[in-house]
Amino acid sequence: MPTVSDYTALLSGQYWGGIETTGKGQIVTYSFPTAAPSYDSSVAGFTAATVSSFQAFNSDEQDQARKALAEWSAASGIVFVEVAPGQGDINFQLVNLSTSSYGSPGGIGFYPFGDWDYLTQPTPTTPSANFRSDLDSSGDVFMNSQYASDGTVNYGTLLHEIGHAIGLKHPTETVYSPFATHDQVLSSDDPTRTIMATVGDTSSNSTPHILQLDMDAAAHIYGAAGSGGVYTDSGSGTLAGTAIAWSWNASTNVMTETGTSADETITGTSLGDVITGNGGNDRLFGLNGNDTLTGGSGNDYIDGGPGADIMTGGAGNDTYYVDNSGDQVIEQPNGGYDFVYARGINYTLPANVDSGQVYGSGLTLTGNADGNTLYGDGSGNTQVYGLGGNDYIVTGSGNDVLDGGTGADGMFGGQGNDTYYVDNTGDYMGEDPNAGTDTVHATISFTLPANFENLILDGTDNINATGNSLANVLTGNAGNNVLDGGGGKDTASFVNATGPVNASLATGVATGFGTDTLQNITNLTGSSYGDTLTGNSAANVLDGGAGNDVLDGGSGADIMYGGLGDDTFYVDNSSDIAVENPNEGTDTVIASVSYSLASSYTDNLTLTGTANINATGNSLANVLTGNAGDNVLNGAGGKDTASFANATGPVNANLTTGVATGFGNDTLQAITNLTGSSYGDTLTGNGAVNVLDGGAGNDVLDGGGGADIMYGGLGDDTFYVDNSSDIAVEYANQGTDTVIASVSYSLASSYVENLTLSGTANINATGNGYNNILTGNAGNNVLNGGTGKDTASFANATGPVNANLSTGIATGFGTDTLQNIACITGSAYGDTLIGNSAANVLTGGAGDDILDGGAGSDSLVGGTGNDTYYVDSPNDFVVEQPGEGTDSVFASVSYSLASSYTENLTLTGTANINATGNGYNNVITGNSGNNVLDGGTGVDTFVFGPGFGHDTLKNFTAGNTSPEHDIIAIDHTILSNFAAVMADAQQIGADTVITIDPSNSITLQNVQKTQLVASNFHFT
């Protein structure tokens, strides 16, 4: 850093009125805020405590500030104008600097454009790193309230900080300026030469004032000494070193600056300035405030600054800078070639402006109805729209959007992935090689120029897309398109389709989103719907996208991407690749060759044809389905399923042996679960936790030792349960299903109907809401039917059973407890089955059974054997079939055998009740009451013992009327021979009455005494 001896050691390079603009007068506003400005909280180094310590300058401190300003103004052409509190370029404030990161200086003053005096700035990589022209704190002076307890501030410190506020630095330090190097320094920090020294003057009788170096520096920047001034009210004048007239109207708060016909630079203030350049090539800067700037004739440069400014260029080729959405640029027709630079905002060119450029990432620039030249940021992601006219658009790097509008437009995107819009056959564009992946949207038939990758047809017209030598992606519209890839390995895309698409490279036709012709196309991309994409003999890439897609690459070595949805891949080449990512749906490969899912997230693999080929899974829970050949189904990792859903007959699959037969002879490796066919399969698990799904058919499912889940499906299925955590799953109306359990088990959570206990352990069976059949084993069981009309069955008993629903106990095959049981089924032996007061169904089965339904309206089914029924309700129903033995009913109520194949009927008790036979040769016995005994058809025998009462026989067939006549079997102690019968018999009307004694008689209805023969009577 060069050492100098003059004022240049004080020049920071940052001044009011511009960077490095020297020797010209400048208006600078100042104020005394009455409250902390909002921007104080964003001042570098300030804390919340610093901001809250704000104090306003009192009247004495304000006078000191005006006095200090006057010294600087007298030494130069700077004009200080006092404005409303907080609206100045320089704002004087008191804060407690000890609460900041600056320590406890007497004060700090910020340079006009934001850099504060204490720190030297490193050289940044770009000017914007440390330099801003719109910082709210620019030029502000903060005096330390710690040193103003007596109501005054240190005058020397005040002069020093104002020096910083107008652009002077410390004499021995360097500062960064974006446009010049300011590294000159004095040999020492000498307070006798400059008020800008960092140490005070300690010589005797020294009074703080600006010194000669300070005066020279101020005059160098702001013009000749004595041409400035300090104004606390309205004023006017001419800026030093210029012919620029200024006037300040304090009542309207308007600063007016007016130039001449010369080329001039006019810089405004923090107020709303009215600046007029008049003639010449002027440079007008509004700075803060909502300014009105008028260039007049000449090629003017107009920058309103941060406010919402009105800028009018007039005649000439004018350049504008806008940075506020409220900025207005006004140009007249034929007013020259005009250019607008927009900083950090989206912008639309106003009428009569020719060109524009935006600065900042992600911005939008829009032209007008004329033919414009439009530039993007050059590095950001810019959107540029030409609208009308023949526009010329250049965006540079970044992922840009270029849309020329209706004219014949030229568009050049540069680096980045750019998007172009074409709607005119005269549109032209350019891209360099390797300059990103670029896309053209066209509403007309279009051929991609060199170095463009993608072409999308918009609208609904029947237009065509043609590629170039690159690997293009051609996307059709809703019309009938010809998609011609040209050279390269090109893709036809249907991502914009509004429904499923069927596209075939083999036929060259795609339907579903218009009817398109595919030429020179190698790859296909589907829509977000369920598409069918078919390749050809080449190595195709098919991408289904979202939706449940069907992808068939054809005979080549193809790559197929399923995307979201439940996709289906057809594989016919061992080099085909089916690609799925995690959580993209449940996907299936259908393969006619051996295939492995190992490198994919595909879920299921189905083998087709009859060849002996193999299926290998991956780490997911795969479903592997074999074909009619001999397959190896290897699940690899995951909990995998071997499926036989395509089998043409019943299958026997066993995970313990690893073999499945019935649809080829398959080998099962790393398989956890089985799915059967639509026939009656036998599926057997192993010691793992298996899931067995029988499907349709009468299946047998045995999960093995693990805690298994077994799904029966349609049909009458049988489940083998050996683990209390096994689950047998059936749904309503899927058949009559049975669980055979060697552990205690409950049907409560299933729609299974029957539960059979196996083995000899003391285990229990619990039903559900269905009418269950619960079958015990040889142990002591609890058979709990749950709700429903449930049956306890002893069909597996090895001897006769005595089961009683009234006591809830069954013995003979273990000692069982019966709970919530309505019905009983016996064994193949002579059982005794007793009901209760409910309507029971008792089924004896084989053997000579005794069935007593109890008080309810019961159904008693005897089965084979000579069965005995006890009936106590006229609604009891006895069921016997022909040839099932000689069966007897004992009834305490009137009863008929008419609807039964039962042979014998005995009335019990003393009530006057009746007995009716059927077509069999019945033996009917009355009780001691007065009975009506009706044998019906057949050769019936009526049995009478002592004290039988007054009985009536109906439908009695006498001996002389039929060789197959009925028989009266009477105890010999009552009557001992036929003669005795005839002696007691008498004809009473149509009936024959045999009177034994006053208490006992037999009336033969409609039988003549003469018709009786000896063979009608047996004496026992």
Q: pLDDT for 493-504, tens place per residue?
A: 999 999 999 999
Question: What is the pLDDT at residue 176?
Answer: 53
d(CA 92, CA 140): 6
Q: How far, in Å, CA of 633 to CA of 86, rounded?
A: 83
Tell me which H or E stretch contains 682. Answer: strand 682-684
Distances (CA, A) of 344 to 305, 323, 338, 426, 473: 12, 6, 20, 32, 34
pLDDT value, residue 179: 45
Query: What pLDDT shows up at residue 578?
Result: 96
CATH no., domain 7-231? 3.40.390.10
Among 193-202, 657-666, 897-906, the range with the most confident prediction by mean pLDDT is: 657-666
pLDDT of the residue at 119: 27
Beta-strand relationship, 915-916 and 932-934: parallel
Integer Rg of the chain from CA: 56
For residue 221, give the H/E element and its range: helix 212-222
Looking at 203-217, 518-532, 905-919, which range is the least confident one? 203-217
Taking the C-alpha atoms of residue 775 and residue 790, their distance in angstroms, rounded to an integer, is 11
Round to whole Å and give the CA distance between 511 and 514.
Answer: 6
Closest by CA to 322, choosing from 270, 358, 268, 367, is 358
Using 50, 70 and 90 to split pLDDT, how confident is the model at 282? Answer: very high
Q: Please check the confidence at residue 182 and state whether its pLDDT lies above 70.
A: no
Eight-state DSSP code of residue 204: T
Give the pLDDT band of residue 744 (cuts 50, 70, 90): very high
Say how far apart CA 153 and CA 135 lie, in whole Å: 26
At residue 132 the predicted structure's pLDDT band, cuts being 50, 70 and 90, is very low
Note the pLDDT tens digit of each residue in 789-801. 999 999 999 999 9
CA neighbours closer than 13 Å in the CB half-sphere of residue 196: 32
**CA–CA dist 410, 384 (Å, integer):** 12
Please report the pLDDT score of residue 134 as a whole number: 40
Rounded to whole angstroms, the Cα distance separating 871 from 907 reads 9
Under DSSP, is residue 148 helix (H, G, I), strand (E, B) or coil?
coil
Residue 203 has pLDDT above 60, yes or no: no
CA–CA dist 22, 13 (Å, integer)? 10
Which pLDDT score is estimated for 177? 52
18 vs 858, more confident? 858
pLDDT for the residue numbered 66: 95
| Beta-strand pair 950-954/941-944 | unpaired
Which of 168, 153, 165, 172 lies closest to 211, judged by CA?
A: 168
Mean pLDDT for all residues in the chain? 93
Of 809, 811, 813, 769, residue with least CA distance to 789: 769
Scan for tokens 């489940």, then name that residue: 719
The DSSP symbol for 350 reads P
> What's the chain's length in residues?
1020
- CA separation, residue 775 to residues 112, 120, 406, 780, 816 (Å): 101, 98, 87, 12, 11
Q: pLDDT band at residue 183, thresholds of 50, 70 and 90? A: low
Whether 726 shows a pLDDT value over 80: the answer reads: yes
pLDDT at residue 858 tops 50? yes
Per-residue confidence band for 18, with pLDDT thresholds at 50, 70 and 90: low
Average pLDDT over residues 149-172: 90
pLDDT at 127 over 80: no
Q: DSSP letter string over 599-668?
A: TS---EEEE-SSS---EE--SS--EEE--SS--EEE--SSS-EEE-TT-SS--EEETTTTEEESSS-EEE
Other C-beta atoms within 10 Å of 687: how many?
11
**Cα(596)–Cα(591) distance, rounded to whole angstroms?**
10
CA pair distance 694, 720, nearest whole angstrom? 13
Is-contact 1 8, C-beta < 8 A? no
Other CB atoms within a 10 A radius of the CB of residue 493 amount to: 25
Q: Rounded to whole angstroms, how far apart are CA atoms 541 and 495? A: 15
Task: Give every CB contact of residue 1 below 8 A, 6+ residues apart in sequence.
Answer: 174, 183, 184, 185
Backbone angles phi, psi at 593, to 5 degrees: -130, 165
Q: What pLDDT sits at residue 960?
A: 80
Instruction: Name the least confident of 218-222, 655-659, 754-758.
Output: 218-222
pLDDT category at 253 given cuts 50, 70, 90 is confident
**Cα separation of 299 and 929, whole Å?**
140
Name the token pair of 575.
Answer: 């080099």
Please determine, for residue 125, whether its predicted confidence score (pLDDT) is greater than 50: no
SS3 736: coil
What pLDDT, on a 0 to 100 scale, did the predictor assign at position 21? 57
In sequence order, the β-bridge partners of residue 461 are none
Q: For the segment 422-450, what is each residue's pLDDT rounded down to a tens digit?
A: 999 999 999 999 999 999 999 999 999 99
pLDDT digits (tens, 9 = 90+) for 161-176: 999 999 999 998 876 5
Exposure string over 95-104, b if 16+ CB within 10 A, otherwise e: bbbebbebee
- What does the pLDDT average to over 694-719? 97
pLDDT tens column, 865-907: 999 999 999 999 999 999 999 999 999 999 999 988 999 999 9
For 953-973, the pLDDT digits (tens) are: 999 999 887 788 999 999 999
Is residue 37 within 8 Å of 86, Cβ to Cβ?
A: yes
Portion of the chain with pLDDT greater than 90, in percent: 83
Find tokens 């429903």 and name the residue: 788
587-629 pLDDT tens trace: 999 999 999 999 889 999 999 999 999 999 999 999 999 999 9
Burial (Cβ within 10 Å: 0-12, 13-18, ≥19) of residue 503 = buried
Kind of pairing between the strands at 841-843 and 823-825: parallel
Give residue 114's pLDDT.
45
Q: Are 643 and 632 in contact (CB under 8 A)?
A: no
Q: Locate the DSSP E strands across 707-757.
A: 709-711, 718-721, 727-729, 738-741, 745-746, 754-757
pLDDT in the model for residue 374: 95
Q: Is the pLDDT reported for residue 133 higher than 60? A: no
What local confidence, expressed as pLDDT, does residue 650 receive? 98
b/e per residue 444-465 (b: at least 16 CB within 10 A) = eebebeebbbbbbbbeeebbbb
Considering only CA atoms, which of 279, 312, 281, 282 is closest in space to residue 294?
312
Q: What's the CA gap between 47 and 285, in Å, rounded?
A: 33
Q: Note the pLDDT of residue 19.
A: 52
Task: Provide the residue ranges of all domains of the chain, joining segments of one domain with +.
Answer: 7-231, 243-336, 586-647, 914-1020
The DSSP output letter for 310 is E
**Cα dist from 945 to 446, 927, 971, 974, whole Å:** 118, 9, 5, 8
DSSP of 521-585, one letter per residue?
--EEE--SS--EEE--SS--EEE--SSS-EEE--SS--EEE--SS--EEEE-STT-EEE--TTS-
Q: What is the DSSP letter of 24?
A: S
pTM of the model: 0.71
Check: CB of residue 515 under 8 Å from CB of residue 534: no
Alpha carbons within 13 angstroms on the beta-carbon side of residue 280 total: 17
Tokens for 999, please give them. Answer: 């208490």
* Cβ neighbours, 10 Å, residue 29: 27
Q: Over the stretch 505-528, which tens digit does the pLDDT of each residue have?
A: 999 999 999 999 999 999 999 999
What pLDDT score was predicted for residue 120? 31
